[in-house]
Structure 1
Amino acid sequence: MPNIPQVPLNDGHRIPQLGFGVYKIPEAETVDAVLTALEAGYRHIDTAAFYENEHAVGEAVRRSGLPRDDVFVTTKVWWTDNGYDSTLRAFDASLERLGFDAVDLFLIHWPAPQRDEYVETWRALEHLKAEGRARSIGVANFHTHHLDRLAAETETVPAVNQVELHPWLPQREVRAYDEARGIVTESWSPLARGRVLDDPLLAGLAAKHGVTPAQVVIRWQLQLGNVVIPKSSTPERIRSNLDVFGFTLDADDLTAIDTLESGERTGKDPDHLG
């Protein structure tokens, strides 16, 4: 079993630095995928109400035989449920689907700034944390100006900011902002939905280290200090994505990967959703 680093959060909890994402895995396939991940050694599963597979994630955790406290589970409130009361209702529904008494991390999935409800949504998350049903709370897809507003109008600094982050979009400004405020940066779409893996530069680094391009990118994410949640439904790739602790990228490798930055997103700009 790999010894996955545990990253401290600003609320005293810890999060496994490498996790398993289940976005776009159909619910019928999610139990087997999560069981494969847990058997391989993952102890961090990332789901969301929008993914429509929370029930399967909870079922897989139960079937694994692992103690509930040994598996860090994240879920999220979708932007159409932003708002204080609607967020509380959405959380109750997520918890029921998971079959848990609490989640380890609950996130605002998108700020949806045009709706102007993310501050009230955050206050609902603060309430859930005070109740103990969300052990840690955070945000996803927040630009620094969204975080500035939370800081000005609420009491709690998010534990995590989960953003699209890959070699094309390294999110330097967000990472620096988060680090200065004790917020952990977490990467979704860490492989740019697989599209970045065809880059010849990454193929060359993979050959240099005797690994795959995906392993190079995941290792890069870890060395940046990010929490990273690669996703696959293929057992071989699920295991391969975890096998990234036997090599280290050197300074030249990191400098080379820096040259891939283009600003290209695979998802929406958070200011333009909702």
Structure 2
Amino acid sequence: MDATFAKGLQALEALAANPNLSGVTDLARHLGLTKSNAHRLLQTLVGCGYVRNVEQSGKYELTLKLWELGAAVVGRLDLKTVSTEYMERLCQLSGETVHLSVLDGMEVIYLDKVDSPHPVRSYSRVGGRAPAYCVATGKALLGYASPALIDAISLELKPFTPFTVTTPNELRSELEKLRQVGYAVNRGEWRDGVCGIASPIWNAGGHVCAAIGLSGPADRFKPRSLKQMAPSVVSVAQQISARLGYRPREDGAQMSELAAKAA
């Protein structure tokens, strides 16, 4: 690994996460660099257009170049654009917060969300991350991930709440159930008292590319409620998949079978 390049990326992450680290001294301390090395690193980032020097303040801030790069990737996926109307519809139908997530290594990233109208709802932010094995959208994605990734995650299982899946057998059992019924459930495994349900989204190439799900407080996500929510979540995931060009079989029977099981 190129150490200098890695420090540059760490500097970008630090500036994005904490604006208070915008001075040379603070950033040097945060990255474990000398002030001269931190200054040289910042000047390189300025020259590349990722950082700007705030005049007469001695401070530095990020430009929008990182956002432009991220937006270009999302734009190529076209997933967010296609999903928006379905997410809004699912929120109106269920009254709960809707998440659109993608898998990034062992974590999910929340690509988009529609907030519940309820005053008490689950907290999350677009761009936020969560351990994939702890949340419903993550499980929906892991159900079709590579065996190598499942093996790697199985070695890293740790409890966040009393309900977190912590053994490889439990995880594999959950993923097998997802593949059978078409949806995954989070029973307060990431944040105590916050539950969810999600279903995978397939792309035109026949691969799971994202997941859509609902989340909210546990008292609104009891077993009976989850059973009632499941058909809508599975149906919306199927509709988005179809819009992305996914065709499971010529007669579409596979999707119908999953929707029937969810019901």
Taking structure 2 as the reference length, the TM-score comes to 0.29
- Bigger relative contact order (CA 8 A; separation at least 6): 1
- Structure number with bigger Rg: 2
